Structure 1
Amino acid sequence: MTTTDYDHDTVLVTGALGGVGRWVVDRLADSGTHVVGVDLDRPEGTRSNTEFWAVDLTEKGLARETIDEVAPDAVVHLAAVSDPVCNPDSRVFDNNVASTYNVLSAAGQAGIDVVWTSSQAAYGALFAESTWTPAYLPIDEAHECRPEDAYGLSKVCGEEIARTVVRRHDVSVTTIRPATIFGPGRTRRRPHADGTDLTSDAAGRNFGSFVDVRDVARMVEAALATDHGGHETVLCVADENYLGQPTAEIVEAVCGTLPDQCELEGRQAALSNAKAADLLGWEPTYTSPRSEADVSGPEWL
C-alpha cells in the first residue's frame, strides 16, 4: 500500500515507541506518510518522514494542544498501559481511559478521523478470575463484553468513548481489537503441543488466539485507507491458534465445556477475522511457527 491509497499526508501516532507503535510508525513512514510520533519520551534519533513529540496524553490540555498544533489528517491512538499483570489496577484504568478520552475527543473536535487499538481483553476471557465461557464460537465483534479486570474494563470504556465521539462530532473511528500480539524481538517459550496443561497455561486463557505485530500494522494502514463512516469495531487475529491443538479442545479444557453454538474446525482461531476481510480487505499474512521452539511475544492487547 502507498500513500495514494488514502488522503493522509500527515498521521499522528500515539504510543509511538511501544511494541506496536514502532511497527506502525515504520510502516506508515515507509509508504511516504509524514508521521508525528507521540510518547512520554523522544527517541535519540529519528528516521526519514518522522518526528517525535514528548507528551503526557493523560493531560487533557496537552493532548488537545498537540493535535491542534500538528493538525494531522488522521490520528492513530496506540498509547496505553498494556501490561495489567505488573501494574496496579488504578494506574492501568486511569491512564488508559484518560488518554483515550483526551485523544479521541480532541481529534473529534478537530474533525479528524481516528484508528485506535482496543483489545481482545474487552471480552473478559484473558484476565478473568472466574471461568469465562464464550456464548458462541467463533467469537465475533458482536459478542458480549464482560471483563472482570481493570485493563479489559478500560478498553470497554474506550470503545464507548469512541462511539460518543462519533455521535458528537460526526467523524470516523475504527476500533481494532487485536488478539495477543507476537512479533520479532520478543521471545517466549511456546508450550509443547502434546501434554500441555491448558487449564493452567496463560496462553489457554484466550484459547491460543494471536496476531503478528506486522499484521496489526497492516490493519492500521488498511483502516486508514477505508472510508466506512461512523464507528466500526474489527477483530485483528490470525486464522489459527498457535498452540498446535484443535481449538475446540482448548476451549473445552479451559472452560470445562463448549457453547451449544460452536462452529470451529481444527485449529481455526476462537476469534473471527471475517469482518476485517469484509470491511477492510485485510487478511493475516503471518502464521504460527509450528515447527519452531520459540515464538515472539506477547504484547497483552
Structure 2
Amino acid sequence: MRVVVTGAHGKVGRAAVKALAEAGHEVTATDLARPVFERHDPGEPRYLQADLTDAGQAYAITHGADAVVHAAAIPDPTSNAPHVVFHNNLMATFNLIEAAVRLGVTRFVNISSETVPGFFFAERPFLPDYAPVDEEHPARPQDPYALSKHFGEQLMDAAVRRSDIKCISLRPSWVQHEGNYERNLGPPRCGTPARSGPGSGATPTCTTSPTPSCWPSSPTCRGTRCSTSPRPTTRAGTTSPPCCAGSTATRSSCARCPGSTRRASPARRRTGCWAGLPSGRGATTWTRTAVPARGDARL
C-alpha cells in the first residue's frame, strides 16, 4: 500500500514511518524540514518537503496515495502565536482531507489529541466530568491547539458523510520515547518549569545527586544538583563528597560548614556537610516543594 505520512520528523510521524516501512508498505514521508541531498540508504522511505497549509502542495503530496497518516501539526499552543497554531493545524488538515477525497484516497488516519475535551490548556481551568475520560466526554476546548484538533475531527466526519473514504481520528496522549523519558517525566531540574503551558510556573524540585554534596547558593543544600549553584572546588585525591566552600575537608569527614549548626562525623561522610541546616535534622532530604501548574492537568 502506498502511504503518505505527514509530520514525519515528529515523534508520532517518525514512529509511523518506521512501522509502515517495516511492514512492507511504500512510504512517502513529508514535513516542513528541507530534505538531505545525499544518497539514500537502502530501504529509506522517500521524503518530500511540503507546507500543507498550501492547497497545491497538499494535493501534490496526496496524489497517487492509497492512504494518508496525518501527524503534522504544531503540537501545543504555548510556543507560537495563537493564530499561527490554529491556522497551521486546521488548514493543513482541511487541505489534506480535501485532496484525499478528490483524488480517491481510500483511508485517512487523523492524529488528533487528548486535549480535545478542553481541560489541558484551558484559560479558565475546569475538571473533566468523569474519569477515566473517553471519546464520549463532551468537547469544550478553549485554546487554539485543542480547537484545531476538535475541528479536524469534524472534518473527518464530514469527509465520511460526503464520500467513500474511511477515516479515523486518534487521540494520543503526551507522546514519549526512550530518548526523552528522563527529560520530560523525570524530576525537573532547578530553574526549569515542570511543564510549559497556561498557568505554569511551578517551583521545580531539585534532584538529589548519587553522591550528595553541599553547593554554595543551592536553595536546598543537601546533595542537590542545581544549574544555578556553582560547584565547590574539590581537593585532589578527596574521595568523600566535598563540603561547602570555605570549610575544610578530609578523606574521611567534613568539618562544619559556614552557617551550619551541626558538625558532620565520619559516619556522615556520604551526606557531606549541610550549610545552614538546623541541628537535629538527621539525614532527611530537603527539597523545594513542586507546586502543580495551574490549568495543566497532564500527569
TM norm structure 1:
0.59
Instruction: Identify the structure with bigger relative contact order (alpha carbons < 8 Å, sequence gap 6+).
Output: 1
Question: Once the 2 structures are TM-superposed, how far is the Cα of residue 42 of structure 1 from its aligned partner?
Answer: 3.8
Structure 1 unaligned regions, length at least 5: 1-8, 193-199, 206-252, 256-269, 272-287, 289-301
> Which structure 2 residues correspond to residues 1-301 of structure 1 after superposition, within 5 A?
9-44=1-36, 46-47=40-41, 48-68=43-63, 71-112=64-105, 113-186=107-180, 187-188=182-183, 190=185, 202=195
Q: Sort the Cα spacing of 1:204 and 1:97 in 2 relative to 1 into closer, same or farther, 3 A.
A: closer
Cα displacement (A) at 1:63: 0.8
Structure 1 counterpart of 2:14, one-letter code: R
Q: CA deviation at 1:76?
A: 0.5
* Counterpart position of 1:211: none
The answer to whether the Cα contact below 8 Å between 2:78 and 2:197 also exists between their aligned partners in 1 is no
Length, aligned pairs only: 196
Task: Name stretches of at least 5 consecutive residues in structure 2 with no aligned partner.
Answer: 188-192, 199-292
Q: Deviations 1:252-287 (Å, cap 9, x if unpaired)? A: x989xxxxxxxxxxxxxx99xxxxxxxxxxxxxxxx
- The residue identity in structure 2 corresponding to 1:108 is V
| Deviation of the 1:166 alpha carbon | 1.0
Runs of 4+ in 1 over 3 A off after TM superposition: 189-192, 200-205
Local SS of the residue matching 1:75: strand
Measured in 2, the distance between the counterparts of 1:109 and 1:152 equals: 27
Query: Could you tell me how far 1:53 is from its partner in structure 2?
Result: 0.8
Contact 1:25 1:35 survives alignment (8 Å): yes
Q: Distance in 1 between matches of 2:135 and 2:26?
A: 32
In the alignment, the residues of structure 2 paired with residue 35 and residue 97 of structure 1 have an alpha-carbon distance, to the nearest angstrom, of: 24
Partner deviation per Cα, 1:39-72 (whole Å, 9 max, x = no partner): 123442544151011111101122113212xx11
CA contact 2:86–2:145 (8 Å) conserved in 1: yes
Which residue is 1:217 aligned to?
none
More strand by share: 1
Q: Which amino acid aligns with 2:23?
A: S
SS at match of 1:83: coil
Q: Distance in 1 between matches of 2:165 and 2:6?
A: 18
The CA distance in 1 between the partners of 2:186 and 2:29, in whole Å, is 36
CA distance in 1, matches of 2:68, 2:130: 34
Residue identity opposite 1:76 in structure 2: V
Deviations 1:165-199 (A, max 9, x none): 1111121001000111111222425366xxxxxxx
Q: Report the residue type matching 1:17 in the other structure.
A: H
Cα 1:58/1:189, change in 2 over 3 Å: closer
SS of 1:155's equivalent? Answer: helix
Checking the alignment, whether the CA contact within 8 Å between 1:108 and 1:166 is kept in structure 2 is no
Contact 2:109–2:168 (CA<8 Å) still a contact in 1? yes
Which protein is bigger by CA-based radius of gyration?
2
Q: 1: CA distance between counterparts of 2:196 and 2:23? A: 34
- Structure-2 separation of matches of 1:189 and 1:174: 29
Once the two structures are TM-superposed, the CA of residue 19 in structure 1 deviates from its matched residue by 2.1
In structure 1, how many angstroms separate the alpha carbons of the residues matched to 2:155 and 2:90? 9
